[in-house]
Amino acid sequence: MKLFSTLDLIALAFFILAWLGYHVALEWTQYGRGGLNSRMNAYRDVWMTRMLERDVRIVDTQIMASLQNGTAFFASTSLIAIGGALTLMRSTEDILAVAAALPFGIESSRALWELKTIGLAVIFAYAFFKFAWSYRLFNYVAILIGSMPPHRDRNKPSARHHATRTGKLCAAAGRHFNRGQRAFFFAIGYLGWFISPWLFMLATLSVVIVMWRRQFKSDALQAVMH
């Protein structure tokens, strides 16, 4: 028995290509370097350089604690989302009846519904690994901040190199955090597949447009550019 219709396969391919295309455009192209994420990486370097100028670095440790707490929150949320996605598999028959009664809903087999649910759980699992690794990297950044040369050595090449190294590691932690959040956003688009392939593609396109506007056309970007 054929589980996926041609339209399902087209919608799934569109989803995967949209995710990969957005990822490549944002992180691997010159165009992406003008986005909000890349510009914030530059401010991370500024932060580490300015830290060398400060003798007391309590503010810096508070900022790191805030970054770690936010990442830990999303990692925990990912685990809850995985559990919720897997719980859907226990009530497949009831959910299928509700989905079929929706105005734009289509009938779906139990096997197809469960495969879709597993796919959603995989997305959240990917997000968890990204958030968990980001949290670990922020811990490493905290260690590098703790080993930052003292204020009196701020003009030494070794101190400047350490600040640059710390900024790069902080940027890597932020990059993985952003990938985890991106998975959450695309998971919202993926939910449309439970209703219909057409809604799946429309929701995916909407997610891409929203994320693109936030990166390249938002007031937040204008704020950091001026």
**Domain ranges for the chain:** 74-199
Q: Which amino acid is at 196?
A: S
DSSP strands (E only) in 72-187: none
Contact present, 203 and 211 (Cβ < 8 Å)? no
Q: What is the mean pLDDT of residues 62-70?
A: 94
pLDDT at 100 over 50: yes
pTM over 0.85: yes
Q: What would the pLDDT profile of 127-176 be if each residue is shown by its tens digit?
A: 999 999 999 999 999 999 999 999 899 899 999 999 999 999 999 999 99
Mean pLDDT score across all residues of the chain: 91
Q: What is the mean pLDDT of residues 173-195?
A: 95
Lowest-confidence region among 16-25, 50-59, 117-126: 50-59
pLDDT at 16 over 90: yes
Residue 9: how many other CB atoms lie within 10 Å = 11
pLDDT at 1 over 60: no
Look at the alpha carbons of 38, 39, 42, 44 in this order and tell me if their dihedral is positive or negative. Answer: negative
pLDDT at res. 101: 67
Q: What is the mean pLDDT of residues 44-64?
A: 92
Look at the alpha carbons of 191, 194, 199, 204 in this order and tell me if their dihedral is positive or negative. Answer: positive
